[in-house]
A and B are shown apart, each in its own frame.
Chain A
Amino acid sequence: MPGPDKPDRRSLPPLLGEAERQDILQIHRAILSRERVEPQEGMEPAPWWVWVVSVLVIFSMGFYLGRYSGTFSTEAHELYQKAAVGGGEAAAEPPPDGSLVYAGICLPCHQAGGTGVEGKYPPLAGSEWVAKDSAIGIRILLHGLQGPIQVKGKTFNNEMPGLGNQLSDAEIAAVLTYVRSNFGNKAPAVDTKQVAAIRQATPGQGPWTAQALSGVPK
């Protein structure tokens, strides 16, 4: 049994001499002698405003619950959809922004300035293919392109996925217009109706080749 002058041996490193044990005991006592009282609970009342703030927070969250609980269903986005319908019923859907479609879809390969990647992805900036008739660009976007192609005097051999399933006619027209009027290109804008017409005229079309595109009717 550890007594007043006997420290618990098991709590000390083994092989300590009696003098060392006593020394450690003395240090320990000195440490413990400069302690203050063990904490107690004070019985002061809580400041009044703590209760006021608590009640206010609970009430305001009650309103929040009423406002944002939606229906008790698995629906994840109903609040936003309601907001969108309520605000936008009268206004027609705004036309898609070609620069956003470019940034979201085209940019990883063709890069921010339309520069492409040397030896991998052909440039759009100053490309003769962009400047050609819009019927060609629309076909590439709708169905994709594969095989060797000459752009600005260099040959590229890669494949571009068709985007017809992913993008609407308006989006294809918008992004094509964006490419044709940016990066130093100065080709006329593309009409949504033309995209729709070509989509209808080429059902089931697979990826184009450069050769096949050169025979495309204007």
Chain B
Amino acid sequence: MLFIRLWMFFAGVLATLFLGWAALIGVPGVQLASVPAQPGLRPYTYEEMHGREIYMREGCVYCHTQQTRPQGFGTDQKRMWGRPSVPGDYVYDRPHLLGTSRTGPDLLNIGARQPSRDWHLAHLYNPRAVVPESIMPRFPWLFEEKTGTGPQDVPLAPGSHIVATREALDLYAYLLALNRTYPVRRAEP
């Protein structure tokens, strides 16, 4: 009664899923495969990739987006978060870290907006030391306490025994690499 034949039901079920896949993934996938990296974009270095893994490990993506919206849609532009991002800005992002939540500000251009290593390390160690209203977690395990600091160590403040680990420094390197302030080159029409 439901259908003339049962195989029609199964064919319909598979066809609807495939149609959706083709529309949302298949066609855009082919279309976007031809998008080259923006000329101003460079691949991540080894340190930056390691920092990116720390960014993923600590789940930064759950509170910070990496996508900037155009003027006329939200106020990303007025908040100085950077020009609207385009597909060519993300060619080296694997996995993508676009994010869906802005419990904290967008970070696509944090490297341009706030390049200070000192600030970032202090902020990672205790966000409320530099942003009193912040509800960001602290990441003390990215730092270690040392009795004697050598010249290669990066202490939190001059004379401090709290020293940044390689993980904190690489995470900072990644944040610094989040900089898509180069001008966009549009595809030829």
A and B touch in the complex (CB under 8 A): yes
Residues on A facing B (Cβ under 8 Å)? 73-74, 76-77, 80-81, 83-84, 97, 100-101, 103-105, 108-109, 117, 119-121, 157-161, 165-166
Contact A76 B84 (CB under 8 A): yes
- Could you tell me if B118 and A120 are in contact, using CB atoms closer than 8 angstroms? yes
Contact A105 B113 (CB under 8 A): yes
In the assembled complex, which residues on chain B have CB atoms less than 8 Å from the CB atom of A81?
70
A73–B34 alpha-carbon span in the complex (Å): 11
Interface residues on B, range: 20 to 34
Contacts of B80 in A (CB 8 A): 100-101, 103-105
Judging by beta carbons under 8 Å apart, are A100 and B78 in contact? yes
Query: What is the minimal beta-carbon distance from B110 to any residue of chain A, in angstroms?
Result: 10
Tell whether B129 is near chain A: CB-to-CB under 8 Å.
Answer: yes
B residues near A (Cβ < 8 Å) are: 31-32, 35, 70-73, 78-81, 84-87, 112-116, 118-119, 122-123, 129-131, 157-158, 181, 187
Q: List 6 A-B contacts (CB under 8 A).
A: A77-B84, A103-B79, A104-B80, A109-B130, A157-B158, A165-B112
CA distance A101 to B181 in the complex (A): 15
Query: Which of B78, B87, B123 is the most central at the interface, judged by chain A CB atoms within 10 Å of its CB?
Result: B78
Chain B residue nearest to A87 in the complex (CB): B72
A160–B115 Cα gap in the complex (Å)? 9
Enumerate chain A residues within 8 angstroms of B118, measured Cβ to Cβ. Answer: 120, 158-159
Tell me the bound Cα distance from A97 to B113 in angstroms: 17
What distance in Å separates the Cβ of A114 from its nearest Cβ neighbour in chain B? 14
Write out the residue numbers on chain B whose beta carbons fall within 8 Å of the beta carbon of A165.
Answer: 112, 181
Report chain A residues within 8 Å CB of B130: 108-109, 117, 120-121
What's the nearest-Cβ distance from chain B to residue A139, in Å? Answer: 18
Q: Quick check: B112 and A120 within 8 Å, CB to CB?
A: no
Which residue of chain A has the shortest Cβ distance to B27 in the bound complex? Answer: A72
Cα distance A166–B180 in the bound complex, in angstroms: 11
Given known pairs A74-B31, A100-B80, the reply for A166 and B181 (CB within 8 Å) is: yes
A18 to chain B, nearest CB (A): 44
Partner of A117, one of B32, B85, B113, B129: B129
A108 touches B114 (CB 8 A): yes
Known: A74-B87, A77-B84, A108-B131; 13 extra A-B contacts, CB below 8 A, are A74-B31, A74-B32, A76-B84, A80-B71, A84-B70, A97-B78, A103-B79, A104-B79, A104-B81, A104-B113, A120-B122, A166-B113, A166-B181
Residue numbers in A under 8 Å from B158 (CB-CB): 157
Of chain A, the residue at the smallest CB distance from B76 is A104
| Alpha-carbon separation in the docked complex, A117 to B119 (Å) | 11
- Chain A contacts of B32 at CB under 8 A? 74
**Which B residues are in CB contact (< 8 Å) with A100?**
78-80
Distance from A91 Cβ to chain B, minimum over Cβ atoms (Å): 14
Distance in angstroms from B185 CB to nearest chain A CB is: 13
A74 touches B119 (CB 8 A): no
| Cross-chain contact A84 with B72 (CB below 8 angstroms) | yes
User: Roughly how many angstroms separate A76 CA and B70 CA in the complex, as a whole number?
Assistant: 9
Distance in angstroms between the alpha carbons of A117 and B118 in the assembled complex = 13
CB of B173, distance to nearest CB on chain A (Å): 15
Structural contact, B157 and A120, CB atoms closer than 8 A = yes
Find out whether the CB atom of A161 lies under 8 angstroms from the CB atom of B115: yes
Q: Is the CB of B112 within 8 A of A109?
A: no
Q: Which residues of B contact A157 (CB under 8 A)?
A: 158
- CB-CB nearest in chain A for B130: A117
Return the 7 tightest CB-CB contacts between A and B, nearest first.
Answer: A104-B80, A80-B70, A80-B72, A77-B70, A161-B115, A77-B84, A104-B79
